[in-house]
Amino acid sequence: MNLKNHRGCKLPLPDNSRLFSRIAATYDFLNHLLSLNIDKRWRRELVRCASAKPKDRILDICTGTGDVAIRFAENNQVGEIVGIDLSEEMLRIAAHKMRSNGSSGKVRLLKGDALNLPFDDGHFDIVTIAFGLRNIEHHRKGICEMVRVLRHGGQLLILEFSPPGYDLFGTCYRLCLNTIIPAVGGVISGSSRAYRYLSSSIAGFPSPDQIIRLMKTEGLKKLYSKRLTGGIAYIHRGEK
């Protein structure tokens, strides 16, 4: 794999790298607790939708503690898996998990910026990002950079929360986001700010239709969105 210094983009939300490093130790536990383990199913579905083929080269952006990369590593025929994240502490935990489950030799972890990916154009067959797009300051620039490193015919898959609607389910979801998650997350992680940010970042995130339009603007084809768990989250997919 050739690394490339693709300059000209500023770092996305640099304070967030420190924020996520502070909650890294409890990140997995709280994800599973607050989602009632549904987040594991969502990530499995993301990897299933990717339908990786033998020798595919895969990049997982904002890899965090590495759950999506680890799922891909279960396919022994995949050619290359790279996980990239701004948080050194998240990557440290990802590396520990991979050593524990035997996938460390299959995944390469890198510290890096989603708006300035250190890879040549067209290097990867599959690019994924799970719950990371909303943490990138410029969503369109982030998608543009992901498309840049995809080969022609490659696919981008985005797993992300959706803003709450205004029906009864959406009202309950918003209440949970604004009260339960910040309270529980703050107590367990020691950083209520991180979980207040989670709520605000979801509430202010573009709708599924808007994300699909951004992907179309960046030249992706065969676009679709898959609704998950009543619309709490979506998988958005497109081909270059």
The enclosing H or E element of 83 equals strand 80-85
The answer for 113, left when phi > 0, alpha when psi is -120 to 50, beta otherwise, is beta
Q: Would you identify the CATH topology of the domain 14-164+206-239?
A: Rossmann fold (3.40.50)
Q: Does residue 48 contact residue 68 with C-beta atoms inside 8 Å? A: no
pLDDT per residue as tens digits for the range 183-206: 887 887 787 777 788 778 888 899
Q: Where are the domains of the chain?
A: 14-164+206-239
Q: Which residue has the higher pLDDT, 34 or 10?
A: 34
pLDDT per residue as tens digits for the range 59-94: 999 999 999 999 999 988 899 999 999 999 999 999
